[in-house]
Amino acid sequence: TSRDQHIVPLLSDLFNTSKQTPTDPSTTITMVVTKVLMLTCLVAAVAATPIDPYGHQQYKHEPKPYSFSYGVEDKNYGPNFSQHEKSDGKNVKGSYTVQLPDGRKQTVTYTADHHNGFHADVQYYGKAQYPPPSKYPPFVVKPQHYAPAPHFDQPSYH
């Protein structure tokens, strides 16, 4: 068509760096479409790259030493435990004690740091005591059987 005769040479001059215009218009159109497609892909790839690199920003934290301890002793219901812990900001040392239901006391002494990880030493004090079995006979429920009986209310006509 006449329109293609005017546009194809113009686009060919625009995109053809070798300045050799092919004689076949379909080849020229194919080359132009290929170059436009490549340019579009390049623009899309540049637009898709992140401005900031992925990942979180690293912050330098100064070591924050701390120390705490607490304890609970309930003589009515039995919870009895405590914990003590101290840190210089890099290493943690501590222990906790728990009164177990069998009468023993469990003490865990632990240390933790970035190089060796968490290490615990568990100690038990006392002897496990189990109460004697109950002397009461087990409770037995005797099933009761009822004979079926029809029950109809008297109709009321008021």
Q: Which two tokens stand for residue 57?
A: 């920003």
Which pLDDT value is given to residue 126?
Answer: 92
**Which residue's structure tokens are 């429920």?**
141
Each residue's pLDDT tens digit, 51-65: 766 667 777 888 889
Q: Which are the contacts of 104, defined by CB distance < 8 A and separation ≥ 6?
A: 124, 125, 126, 127, 128
pTM over 0.75: no
Which pLDDT value is given to residue 22?
Answer: 57
CB atoms within 10 A of CB 1: 7
pLDDT of 31 > 60? The answer is yes
Q: Which two tokens stand for residue 15?
A: 């995109």
| Contact call for residues 94 and 84 (beta carbons, < 8 A) | yes
From the list 101, 108, 107, 109, the residue with the least C-alpha distance to 128 is 101
Which pLDDT value is given to residue 158?
Answer: 73
From the list 97, 73, 94, 72, the residue with the least C-alpha distance to 85 is 94
From the list 120, 83, 124, 81, the residue with the least C-alpha distance to 105 is 124
Q: Is the dihedral of CA 129, 131, 132, 133 positive or negative?
A: negative
Mean pLDDT of the chain: 81
pLDDT of 49 > 50? The answer is yes
Higher-confidence residue of 86 and 26: namely: 86
